[in-house]
Amino acid sequence: MCVYDKKSLKAEEFINDEEIKATLKYADENKDNTELIDKIIEKAKLRKGLDHREASVLLACENEDRLKEIYALAEQIKKDFYGDRIVMFAPLYLSNYCVNGCVYCPYHAKNKHICRKKLTQEEVKNEVIALQDMGHKRLAIESGEDPVNNPIEYILDCIKTIYSIKHKNGAIRRVNVNIAATTVENYRRLKEAGIGTYILFQETYNKESYELLHPTGPKHNYAYHTEAMDRAMQGGIDDVGIGVLFGLELYRYELAGILMHAEHLEAVHGVGPHTISVPRIKRADDIDPDTFDNGIDDETFAKIVAIIRIAVPYTGMIISTRESKSVREKVLRLGVSQISGGSRTSVGGYVEPEPEQDNSAQFDVSDQRSLDEVVKWLMELGYIPSFCTACYREGRTGDRFMTLCKNGQIQNCCHPNALMTLKEYLMDYADEDTKAVGDKLIEQELEKIPNEKVRKIAAEHIADIAENNKRDFRF
């Protein structure tokens, strides 16, 4: 029998099924226990987070007044930790060749009608130029798992190509990587290639379901997949991004699992996940989301985001264009700190839209607006779209980043960095309307920098960006 031990390096001990089931039972027994719920909310107000049991009680709670309190606290913590900044990124699909059998993903090996594509280095270059011309500075590269078609050497070549391209004023300054679980040695090579965050979604923390949902291929191995972040950390990658694919399993099981994973990383490596992603299953080539029994509605989705926000205040939260404009608007307020914009989920989709018969996309995109439309929309909602990559480039990763973040210090550089990178975007890529909205916003926001010296330097840099075509300032 496996015993729950968050410090264990064995998947089934740090994500322990019995502990999750006991947690869900405890949450059910206490969902109307207002005394306990109030105590948990008071603890969350200290901004030091909650453990998986406490968060699970809040998730089970249906008391309207308490839920209002939870949402208000999530909004406040979001503001206190992240200000109004929203970090922008785009996915870049390199290859959809895949040997796995994931039943929710159209890249599964048995899908013989999806168009298989793999970018050549020349095509990577063209995609990157297209992304730079939109204004992106931060990418998440995505690939199916296929040791023959997409070996680690191919991924490393692509990263090298991406960082090498300087087109006009464009540059990709941070490449995050979302590829299948791999070895410590390969993680070391990714680290040496200068990646930002290594992202890997657990899909589901429930081992039994996991094995059914991944019937064939290397991804079938639950322990190898679940222990990937430990290997990544051993390989020197200290920013890791976790997530589950909501809809596959019971969402309450997944919330407990994801928080146990965060607790495990913190206990073993001294640093929790850099980001948590909250994707939901989408329609795709031969995938119908309605065939999965555990889909969650928008209300539940928002509740999950709010609870993650207060449970791990220092962990960034990511939402993709899988979600619609209205859902994105709701969850931005409750906790999400990074969003993608202008995304294409097809291989080669940025250079030219894919002909319909050629479908290579991983899933249908709900938010189909251009990056510029998303940037303008964010600013009109009162947010500051940020293209900042400074922390990673200044070596503020892993526990250095977390320590600054936990002390509330990160905002001292984030706010001016966001404004400077937004100014770059406005000068190089925005249309006239967006530029007008953005320039006004920057003017107002500069005034809010408390430190006079920082305010003055930021204003000088912004003037240099506008008048002298200077780029890439950062605190």
Residues at the contact surface with ligand SAM, assessed by CB under 6 A: 104-105, 142, 144-145, 178-180, 200-201, 203, 219, 245, 279, 281-282, 284, 287, 322, 362-363
Of 27 and 229, the one with the shorter C-beta distance to ligand SAM is 229
* Residues pairing with 89 in the sheet: 340
The CB-of-144 to ligand SAM minimum distance in angstroms stands at 5
3-state secondary structure of 396: coil
Residues in the chain: 475
Collapsing DSSP states into helix, strand and coil, what is residue 379?
Answer: helix
Cα–Cα dist 124/94, whole Å: 7
Nearer to ligand SAM (CB atom), residue 94 or residue 384: 94
278 to each of 301, 308, 318, 328, 332, how far by Cα in Å? 9, 10, 7, 11, 12
Residue 365 Cβ vs ligand SAM, minimum distance, rounded to whole Å: 10
Nearer to ligand SAM among residue 105 and residue 384 (C-beta):
105
C-beta closer to ligand SAM: residue 287 or 462: 287
Angle, CA 118 vertex, CA 115 and CA 119 arms, to 5°: 130
* Beta carbon of residue 256, minimum distance to ligand SAM (angstroms, whole number): 19
Contact status, residue 197 vs residue 240, Cβ threshold 8 Å: yes
* Shortest distance in whole angstroms from residue 281 CB to ligand SAM: 5
Of 367 and 445, CB closest to ligand SAM: 367
Q: Are the C-beta atoms of residues 244 and 296 closer than 8 Å to each other?
A: no
Q: Write down the least CB distance from residue 212 to ligand SAM, Å.
A: 16
CB of 3 to ligand SAM, least distance (A): 29
Nearer to ligand SAM, 30 or 182 (CB): 182
Beta pairing partners, 280: 246
Residue 89 three-state SS: strand
**Radius of gyration of the chain measured on its C-alpha atoms:** 22
Closest CB to ligand SAM among residues 105, 402: 105
At its nearest, how many Å lie between ligand SAM and the CB of residue 79? 29
Residue 291 Cβ vs ligand SAM, minimum distance, rounded to whole Å: 11
CA 149 to chain centre: 26
Q: What are phi and psi of 354, to 5 degrees?
A: -75, 135
Q: What is the Cα–Cα distance from 78 to 366, expressed in whole angstroms?
A: 24
**β-pairing verdict for 240-243 and 275-277:** parallel
What is the separation, in whole angstroms, between the first and last Cα of the chain?
Answer: 51
Beta carbons of 291 and 213 less than 8 angstroms apart:
no
- What's the rounded Cα separation, in Å, for the pair 240 and 299? 28
Phi, psi of 73 (to 5 degrees): -70, -40
Between 291 and 409, name the residue whose CB sits nearer to ligand SAM: 291
Residue 201 CB, nearest distance to ligand SAM (Å)? 4
Nearer to ligand SAM, 297 or 432 (CB): 297
Smallest separation, CB 395 to ligand SAM (Å)? 27
Residue 135 vs 279, nearer CB to ligand SAM = 279
Report the alpha-carbon distance of residue 270 to residue 401 in Å, rounded.
12
Contact of 321 with 142, CB cutoff 8 Å: no
